[in-house]
């Protein structure tokens, strides 16, 4: 009887723990090691004491202030601008210090009416809008502190009909919950036969057929909600096909978990959902160390959110880097699902012997 009164308390504490796990990375988020690329074209100016390179000195000072163990930026220096542009989507921002930077700076000191050459700053907004905003704020502060002007260009801009870029997060979340629920329902209606390995194989194939078909429905439904109901002009079929891959990958995890551990096995996909939820929107550079090292690299939600941004903002198709890793997730899920065929059948419980009635 006492357990009945304790149950609401236990449920409340459990719910609080779940919410804490989901929100902790947001509460402790802090930008660090944001990938930034730079090219120094500054030719310098020859003086009696040697050649002066103001551009290189300025870049070295900027690196010193923004990098290090707890630095906000992780710098990569390229030899040529062409080489750097080829890797643009790997960085949140790039800077180019022009050839006449030193000359123009020295000329402006001699003649204040002359305007020194600006540094070319390119912000890759589509890679992640949150990081792009934080990055631009740092360079704005550096400009105010040093007096050096940054000529800013935004590439892969977020279209006006996609708001602040949260549409990718919404799309991934629409995919996630229906996938878990659908796969669990499949396991309830199509239970694995245990009479023989052949019968169990047939049950698994039927489950997978339903999962493949319904994941396509979920992918198209998510794309439709974002495109038609949300009013965002996204590449519908690329989004739908990516959603199909993502949904099927997560459903294989659910099917495998329940196949091995029955209903308690749902703790595995639900736990994945709770731990990896923040990786949909928060990039690796914003997460606490534990999430960076042990959750983000393998969490399917990370690839769902990143893949959606690649399609919506960077112009990639549905066969991108994220869909590749989601396919690997599906392969792992399938491997564990079919491995249940070699699981030893559970021994049926022995019936209790009836006690003989005594006179």
> What is the mean predicted confidence (pLDDT) over 229-258?
92
Over residues 15-40, mean pLDDT: 86
Given a cut of 50, whether residue 359 has pLDDT beyond it is no
Instruction: Give the model's pLDDT for residue 164.
Output: 65
Q: Looking at the predicted structure, is the pLDDT value of residue 184 above 80? A: yes
Has residue 27 got a pLDDT over 80? yes
Lowest-pLDDT choice from 110-114, 212-216, 259-263: 110-114
* Beta strands 50-52 and 45-47, pairing class: antiparallel
**How many Cβ atoms are within 10 Å of 176's Cβ, its own excluded?**
25
Task: Tell me what pLDDT residue 47 has.
Answer: 82
The mean pLDDT of 131-160, rounded to a whole number, is 87
With cut-offs at 50, 70 and 90, classify the pLDDT of residue 321: very high
* Percentage above 90 pLDDT, the chain: 43
Q: Which fold has domain 34-157?
A: abc type-2 transporter like fold (3.40.1710)
Average pLDDT of the chain to the nearest whole number: 87
Q: Counting beta carbons within 10 angstroms of the beta carbon of residue 332, is it exposed (0 to 12), middle (13 to 18) or buried (19 or more)? A: middle
pTM attached to this predicted model? 0.83
3-state secondary structure string, the chain?
Answer: CHHHHHHHHHHHHHHHHHHHHHHHHHHCCCCCCEEEEEEECCCCEEECCEEECHHHHHHHHHHHHHCCCCCCEEEEEECCHHHHHHCHHHCCEEEEECCCHHHHHHHHHHCCCCCCCCEEEEEECCCCHHHHHHHHHHHHHHHHHHCCCEEEEEECCCCHHHCCCCHHHHHHHHHHHHHHHHHHHHHHHCCCCCCCHHHHHHHHHHHHHHHHHHHHHHHHHHHHHHHHHCCCCCCHHHHHHHHHHHHHHHHHHHHHHHHHHCHHHHHHHHHHHHHHHHHHCCCHHHCCHHHHHHHCCCCHHHHHHHHHHHHHCCCCCCCCHHHHHHHHHHHHHHHHHHHHHHCCCCCCCCCCCCCCCCC
* CA-CA-CA-CA torsion sign (73, 37, 148, 57): positive
How would residue 98 be classed by pLDDT, with cut points 50, 70 and 90? very high
User: What would the pLDDT profile of 269-284 be if each residue is shown by its tens digit?
Assistant: 999 998 888 888 888 8
DSSP β-bridge partners for residue 75 = 36
Residue 119: strand pairing partners: 150
Q: What is the pLDDT of residue 244?
A: 97
Among 12-16, 117-121, 302-306, 332-336, the least confident range:
12-16
Which range scores top for mean pLDDT: 30-44, 104-118, 201-215, 289-303? 201-215
Cα of first residue to Cα of last residue in the chain, in angstroms, is: 37
Other Cβ atoms less than 10 A from the Cβ of 159: the count is 14
| Residue 197 CB neighbour total at 10 angstroms | 13
- pLDDT interval class at 193 (50, 70, 90): confident
Q: Which two tokens stand for residue 149?
A: 């002007």
Work out the angle at residue 327's Cα, subtended by the Cα atoms of residues 305 and 247, and round it to the nearest 5 degrees.
55
Lowest mean pLDDT among 10-19, 115-124, 135-144, 311-320: 10-19
**Residues facing 95 on adjacent strands:** 38, 121
User: What are the residues whose beta carbons fall under 8 Å from the beta carbon of 145, sequence distance 6 or more?
Assistant: none
* pLDDT value at 345 more than 90: no
Q: What is the pLDDT of residue 84?
A: 92
Average pLDDT on 165-189 reads 91
- Both tokens of residue 126? 């589509």
Dump pLDDT digits (tens) for 77-87.
998 999 998 88
Contacts of 17 (CB under 8 A, 6+ apart): none
CA distance 187 to 207: 7
Query: In whole angstroms, what is the distance from residue 324 CA to residue 231 CA?
Result: 28
Residue 356 has a pLDDT of 54
Residue boundaries of the structural domains of the chain: 34-157, 162-342
| Stretch 169-192: mean pLDDT | 92
Question: Over pLDDT 70: what percentage of the chain?
Answer: 94
Lowest-confidence pick of 46-50, 133-137, 212-216, 333-337: 46-50
In degrees, rounded to 5, the angle at the alpha carbon of residue 213 between the alpha carbons of residues 326 and 202 is 95
pLDDT for 203 equals 92
pLDDT: which is higher, 114 or 212: 212
For residue 166, pLDDT beyond 90 = no
């Amino acid at each position: 009887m006492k357990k009945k009164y304790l149950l609401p308390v236990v449920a409340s504490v459990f719910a609080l723990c779940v919410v804490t796990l989901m929100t902790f990375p947001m509460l402790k988020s802090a930008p660090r090691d944001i990938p930034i690329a730079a090219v120094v074209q500054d030719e310098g100016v020859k003086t009696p004491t040697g050649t002066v390179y103001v551009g290189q000195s300025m870049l070295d000072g900027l690196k010193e202030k923004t990098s290090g163990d707890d630095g906000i930026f992780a710098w990569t220096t390229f030899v040529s601008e062409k080489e750097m542009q080829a890797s643009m989507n790997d960085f949140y921002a790039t800077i180019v210090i022009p050839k006449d930077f030193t000359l123009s700076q020295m000329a402006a000191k001699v003649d204040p009416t002359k305007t020194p050459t600006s540094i070319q700053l390119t912000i890759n907004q589509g890679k992640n809008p949150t990081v792009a905003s934080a990055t631009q704020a740092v360079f704005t502060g550096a400009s105010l502190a040093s007096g050096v002007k940054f000529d800013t260009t935004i590439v892969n801009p977020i279209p006006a009909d996609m708001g602040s870029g949260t549409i990718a997060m919404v799309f991934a979340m629409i995919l996630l919950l229906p996938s878990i629920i659908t796969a669990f329902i499949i396991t309830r209606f199509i239970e694995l036969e245990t009479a023989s390995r052949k019968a169990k194989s047939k049950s698994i194939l039927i489950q997978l057929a339903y999962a493949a078909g319904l994941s396509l429905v979920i992918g198209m439904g998510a794309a439709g909600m974002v495109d038609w109901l949300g009013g965002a002009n996204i590449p519908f079929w690329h989004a739908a096909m990516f959603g199909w891959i993502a949904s099927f990958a997560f459903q294989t995890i659910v099917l495998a978990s329940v196949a091995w551990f029955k209903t308690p096995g749902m703790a595995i996909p639900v736990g994945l959902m709770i731990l990896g939820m923040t990786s949909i929107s928060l990039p690796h550079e914003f997460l606490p160390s534990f999430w960076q090292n042990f959750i983000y690299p393998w969490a399917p939600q990370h690839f769902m959110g990143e893949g959606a941004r690649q399609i919506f903002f960077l112009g990639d198709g549905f066969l991108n880097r994220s869909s590749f890793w989601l396919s690997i997730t599906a392969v792992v899920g399938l491997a564990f699902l079919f491995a249940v065929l070699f699981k030893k059948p559970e021994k049926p419980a022995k019936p209790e012997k009836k006690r003989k009635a005594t006179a």
